[in-house]
Amino acid sequence: MERIFGRPIVTQEEMRARIKELGKQIAADYAGKDFVLVGVLKGAYAFYADLARAIRIPMRVDFLIVTSYGSQSKTSGRVKVVTELTEDIRGKDVLLVEDIVDSGLTARYLIKKLAKQKPKSVKICTLLSKPERRTIDVPLDYVGFKIPNKYVVGYGLDYQQKYRNLPYLAVLDMEGEQE
Ligand code: IMP
Ligand code: MG
Could you list the residue range(s) of the whole structural domain that residue 30 is in? 8-70+77-159
Report yes or no on 143 lying in a domain: yes
Task: Say if ligand 1 is within 6 A of residue 110 CB.
Answer: no
Cα–ligand 2 centroid distance for 66 (angstroms): 9
- CA 147 from centre of chain: 14
Report yes or no on 169 lying in a domain: no
Residue of 100, 105, 162, 173 best suited for mutating to test ligand 1, as the one with most atoms within 8 Å of CB: 100
Catalytic residue among 50, 93, 99, 102: 102
Task: Say if ligand 1 is within 6 A of residue 152 CB.
Answer: yes
Phi/psi at 67 (5° precision):
-125, 150
Residue of 102, 105, 132 best suited for mutating to test ligand 1, as the one with most atoms within 8 Å of CB: 102
Report yes or no on 175 lying in a domain: no
Confidence label for 178 from pLDDT (cuts 50, 70 and 90): very low
pTM of the model: 0.92
Report yes or no on 167 lying in a domain: no
Task: Say if ligand 1 is within 6 A of residue 75 CB.
Answer: yes
Q: Quick: pLDDT tens for 130-151.
A: 999 999 999 999 999 999 999 9
The pLDDT mean for the chain works out to 91
Report yes or no on 171 lying in a domain: no
Report yes or no on 174 lying in a domain: no
Cα–ligand 1 centroid distance for 107 (angstroms): 10
At residue 170, the pLDDT reads 94
Asked if residue 76 has pLDDT above 60, the reply is no
Average pLDDT rounded to a whole number, residues 86-114: 96
Before 80, cis peptide (omega within 30)? no
Task: Say if ligand 1 is within 6 A of residue 103 CB.
Answer: yes
Give the count of domains, the chain: 1
Asked if residue 61 has pLDDT above 90, the reply is yes
Report yes or no on 111 lying in a domain: yes
User: The domain that contains 58 carries what CATH number?
Assistant: 3.40.50.2020
Report yes or no on 176 lying in a domain: no
Q: Quick: pLDDT tens for 1-36.
A: 556 676 789 999 999 999 999 999 999 999 999 999
Is 102 annotated as catalytic?
yes
